[in-house]
């Protein structure tokens, strides 16, 4: 029996009847998910769902090699034997299930709340011994950043363990989305993580379109892809500036900081908002990109490339800056795979995955972006990948803009059909964004699950610090630049 | 070193002309909404029905009231109105001193007033701010951080973000104030020396924004701390924030 034969298969941006998804006992669910994961599939989502008045489970696994997704439900259950010891990438999903449902997760190695209760009320992992000391930071930090608590166990300057406790940003996004679809839905999606407004809005709209059984017109899909790549450019370039700032290489920090704004301004010219808010709507995009604007964009992108190459050369030719990146904050290939890292952080450690190639949806079915990956898993790899991915995104945009598909950018998106489950994946600039939506018999949403790439990747940052120096924390943190709001929802 | 100097020359000076020059915002930029003073047809409330955050009220006199504190600056009302009574201008000036001043019922704008003479003597040429994110999506943080880049260059006005509330004259709050951040926000406010200012940035901090009514949040900063300046937007453009701060300090003409 193949490891996936018990699952229901669907593709990114597709929907299936809820009644067609196999329902197995909790014990069989555990064994089936474990077998599939050990055969090379990745856990994209694992969550509690209503089942006959009680609570069951749902797993969504991604087969990146074949480009398909697998879904499985469990029967209603009161308890579930934890997967985490055998499948570390399940650890945060299981903590979330334990805090948000009636299911007891037995045998979880670190059963703490994720976001629901006051985050710092539970005990932290603590190392004991002579000359061991603890450093506590947050939730309010020294800069203009989001709140989170970091607890370091140190021996001298060396970090033995870092525990990251988030949850301060929890504002109830999933519950508000599940009350839809309503006129507020797409705005909530744009506010899951404000620097990924295009990415999350695209995932939300693709899920609604799958539930309705329609596809956005190709021109709308092309404009979504263009905005997604502009968002990637702005964020990657901003992060390169922040990384340069944290090794005190201020000229590159200043130049990259200015250049980031040029790409935000392109999004503003297109959508009226620097973060692309208002652009992506169910059924396509609310704004079009007329020919003269495309010509103007191409010229601005060409200037952006010239600047990017010059500033990139300045940073990566500077031996003292690169010396600080090399072998700092290393996450090995094995750890990255075990933790289920996604996106840029995973590729920097040598994992070969990218939703745009592995599960293409929308325009990415027709126009491809070469995947770049690193090997060393250190700050250097994450910085260099940002730079290289920017160049790939520029190539993509320069090819796309003069050759946009014709037709309308927006078409009507009817109400969802009842009794379905839809999964949509988008390769946001941090990595895989996963939205799962289920509809009830009345065609209203019955459940809405959001998995931001940060949810997978925060544990990667904790591992990057192991054995490193505590003074490297800001640099390591910037090299990941994860979302607190996307994690906390 | 030679590389740094060479790149510095090729990059040039990029600081914006604000507040002297034109804002240079593009045609599609959604700044201050413009509500026509013409009466609407009786009974048509298409704009109010379309608004995702109930920022628009239509009264019996067929007048339209738009609350900038709730507005997400989206296009739903503009698209819904059959007569084109609501549109957007590219005017970035939005900040106000009182919550009621954010409710517009015509073309007039009630922009932020300057602090009194004594407060201006204290803060007018040097204002230190502490930022607390209390459940924001990070959009407002991104724009506040952008104020420090070479284009907007906040520090040329004597305004800086500092690392400790003990060093701060003002508290900048973003986000709807989540249940999990309320105690930390209050503790930060209490840790600041008096006299102190509070500035609410973004729709979430003013009204809860898209999260208004969520059981996990408190519909904005005023639930927890008193607010002196309201800067609307989702998120507000850096120029909107700059305009608000400089008006508060009495450094922009009325």
Across the A:B interface, residue pairs with CB atoms under 8 Å apart total 181
- B233 in contact with chain A, both atoms CB, cutoff 8 A: no
Taking the C-alpha atoms of residue A462 and residue A473, their distance in angstroms, rounded to an integer, is 10
CB-nearest to B235 from A119, A194, A271 is A194
The reported pLDDT for the residue numbered B40 is: 81
- B156 in contact with chain A, both atoms CB, cutoff 8 A: no
The reported pLDDT for the residue numbered A420 is: 97
Cβ-defined contact of B141 to A314 (cutoff 8 Å): no
The reported pLDDT for the residue numbered B62 is: 67
CA distance A360 to chain B (A): 27
pLDDT greater than 90 at residue B254 = no
CA distance A419 to chain B (A): 26
Mean pLDDT estimate for chain B: 93
The reported pLDDT for the residue numbered B185 is: 96
First to last CA, chain A: 38
The reported pLDDT for the residue numbered A120 is: 66
pLDDT greater than 90 at residue B60 = no
B186: exposed, middle or buried (C-beta count within 10 Å: 0-12, 13-18, 19+)?
middle
Strands in A398-485 per DSSP E: 420-427, 432-439, 445-451
- A179 in contact with chain B, both atoms CB, cutoff 8 A: no
B107: exposed, middle or buried (C-beta count within 10 Å: 0-12, 13-18, 19+)?
exposed
* Degrees to nearest 5, angle at CA A429 with A341 and B214: 85
* Residues of B in Cβ contact (< 8 Å) with A170: 135, 178-180, 216
Q: Which domains does chain A have, with CATH numbers?
A: 8-106 (3.10.180), 173-488 (1.10.645.10)
Cβ-defined contact of A188 to B210 (cutoff 8 Å): yes
Cβ-defined contact of B211 to A191 (cutoff 8 Å): yes
Task: Name the closest residue on chain A to residue B48, using Cα atoms.
Answer: A183
- B10 in contact with chain A, both atoms CB, cutoff 8 A: yes
Which of B4, B141, B180, B241 is best to mutate for the A interface (most A CBs within 10 A)? B180
* Residues of B in Cβ contact (< 8 Å) with A191: 137, 139, 204, 209-211, 234
Task: Name the closest residue on chain B to residue A183, using Cα atoms.
Answer: B52
CA distance A2 to chain B (A): 42
Place of tokens 């899909």: A221
CA distance B126 to chain A (A): 19
Cβ-defined contact of A171 to B214 (cutoff 8 Å): yes
The reported pLDDT for the residue numbered A450 is: 98
Taking the C-alpha atoms of residue B17 and residue B20, their distance in angstroms, rounded to an integer, is 6
**Could you tell me which residue, B42 or A398, shows the higher pLDDT?**
A398
- B224 in contact with chain A, both atoms CB, cutoff 8 A: no
Place of tokens 């709308």: A220
Query: Could you tell me if A223 and A278 are in contact, meaning their C-beta atoms sit under 8 angstroms apart?
Result: no
A23: exposed, middle or buried (C-beta count within 10 Å: 0-12, 13-18, 19+)?
middle
B13: exposed, middle or buried (C-beta count within 10 Å: 0-12, 13-18, 19+)?
exposed
Which residues in chain A come in under a pLDDT of 70? 119-120
- A388 in contact with chain B, both atoms CB, cutoff 8 A: no
- A370 in contact with chain B, both atoms CB, cutoff 8 A: no
CB-nearest to A140 from B137, B149, B184 is B184
Give me the interface pTM, i.e. the ipTM: 0.95
- B145 in contact with chain A, both atoms CB, cutoff 8 A: yes
* Residues of B in Cβ contact (< 8 Å) with A145: 133, 141
Query: Could you tell me if A332 and A319 are in contact, meaning their C-beta atoms sit under 8 angstroms apart?
Result: no
Query: Could you tell me if A420 and A196 are in contact, meaning their C-beta atoms sit under 8 angstroms apart?
Result: no
- The class (CATH top level) of B117-248 is alpha beta
Domain limits of chain B?
Answer: 117-248
Taking the C-alpha atoms of residue A462 and residue A206, their distance in angstroms, rounded to an integer, is 32
């Amino acid at each position: 029996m193949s490891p996936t034969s018990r699952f229901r298969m669907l593709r990114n941006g597709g929907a299936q009847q809820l009644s067609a998804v196999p329902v197995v006992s909790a014990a069989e669910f555990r064994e089936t998910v474990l077998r599939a994961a050990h055969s090379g599939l990745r856990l994209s989502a694992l969550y509690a769902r209503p089942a006959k008045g009680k609570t069951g489970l749902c797993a969504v696994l991604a087969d990146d090699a074949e480009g398909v997704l697998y879904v499985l439900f469990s029967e209603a259950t009161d308890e579930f034997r934890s997967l985490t010891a055998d499948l570390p990438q399940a650890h945060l999903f299981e903590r979330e299930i334990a805090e948000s449902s009636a299911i007891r997760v037995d045998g979880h190695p670190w059963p703490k709340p994720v976001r629901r209760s006051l985050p710092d009320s539970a005990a932290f992992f603590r190392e004991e011994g002579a000359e061991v000391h603890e450093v506590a930071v947050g939730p309010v930090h020294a800069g203009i950043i989001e709140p989170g608590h970091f607890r370091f166990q140190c021996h001298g300057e060396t970090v033995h363990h870092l525990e990251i406790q988030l949850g301060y940003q929890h504002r109830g996004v999933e519950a508000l989305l599940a009350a839809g679809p309503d006129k507020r839905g797409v705005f909530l999606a744009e506010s899951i993580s404000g620097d990924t407004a295009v990415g999350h809005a695209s995932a939300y709209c693709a899920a609604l379109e799958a539930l309705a059984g329609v596809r956005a017109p190709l021109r709308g899909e092309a404009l979504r892809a263009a905005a997604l790549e502009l968002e990637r450019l702005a964020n990657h370039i901003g992060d390169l500036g922040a990384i340069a700032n944290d090794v005190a290489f201020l000229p590159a920090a200043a130049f990259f900081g200015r250049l980031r704004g040029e790409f935000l301004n392109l999004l503003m010219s297109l959508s009226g908002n620097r973060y692309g808010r208002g652009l992506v709507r169910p059924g396509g995009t609310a704004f079009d990109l007329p020919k003269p604007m495309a010509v103007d964009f191409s010229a601005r992108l060409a200037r952006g490339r010239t600047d990017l190459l010059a500033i990139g050369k300045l940073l990566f030719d500077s031996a003292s800056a690169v010396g600080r990146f090399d072998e700092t904050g290393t996450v090995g290939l094995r750890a990255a795979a075990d933790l289920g890292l996604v996106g840029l952080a995973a590729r920097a450690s040598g994992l070969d995955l990218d939703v745009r190639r592995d599960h293409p949806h929308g325009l990415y079915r027709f126009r491809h972006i070469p995947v770049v990956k690193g090997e060393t898993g250190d700050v250097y790899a994450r910085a260099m990948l940002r730079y290289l991915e920017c160049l790939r995104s520029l190539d993509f945009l320069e090819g796309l803009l003069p050759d946009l598909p014709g037709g309308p950018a927006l078409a009507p998106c009817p109400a969802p059909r009842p009794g379905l489950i839809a999964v949509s994946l988008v390769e946001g600039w941090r990595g895989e964004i996963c939205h799962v939506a289920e509809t009830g018999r009345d065609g209203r949403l019955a459940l809405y699950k959001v998995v931001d790439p940060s949810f997978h990747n925060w544990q990667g940052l904790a591992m990057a610090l192991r054995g490193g120096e505590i003074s490297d924390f800001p640099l390591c943190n910037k090299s990941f630049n994860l979302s607190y709001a996307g994690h906390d929802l | 070193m030679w590389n740094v100097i060479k790149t510095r020359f090729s990059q040039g000076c990029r600081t914006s002309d604000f507040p002297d020059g034109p804002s240079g915002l593009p045609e599609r930029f959604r700044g201050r909404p413009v509500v026509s003073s013409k009466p609407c047809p009786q009974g048509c409330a298409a704009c109010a029905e379309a608004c995702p955050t109930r920022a628009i009220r239509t009264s019996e006199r067929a007048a339209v009231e738009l609350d900038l504190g709730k507005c997400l600056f989206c296009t739903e009302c503009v698209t819904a109105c059959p007569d084109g009574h609501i549109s957007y201008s590219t005017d970035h000036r939005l900040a106000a001193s009182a919550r009621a001043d954010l409710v517009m019922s015509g073309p007039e704008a009630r922009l932020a007033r300057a602090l009194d003479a004594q407060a201006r003597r204290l803060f007018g040429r040097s204002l230190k701010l502490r930022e607390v994110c209390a459940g924001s999506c990070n959009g407002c943080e991104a724009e506040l951080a952008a104020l420090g880049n070479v284009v907007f260059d906040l520090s040329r006005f004597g305004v800086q973000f500092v690392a400790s509330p003990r060093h701060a004259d003002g508290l900048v709050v973003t986000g709807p104030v989540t249940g999990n951040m309320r105690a930390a926000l209050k503790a930060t406010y209490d840790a600041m020396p008096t006299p102190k200012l509070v500035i609410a940035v973004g729709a979430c901090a003013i009204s809860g924004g898209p999260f208004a009514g969520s059981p996990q949040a408190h519909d904005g900063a005023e639930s927890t701390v008193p607010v002196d300046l309201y800067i609307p937007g989702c998120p507000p453009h850096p120029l909107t924030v700059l305009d608000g701060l400089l008006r508060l300090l009495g450094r922009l003409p009325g």
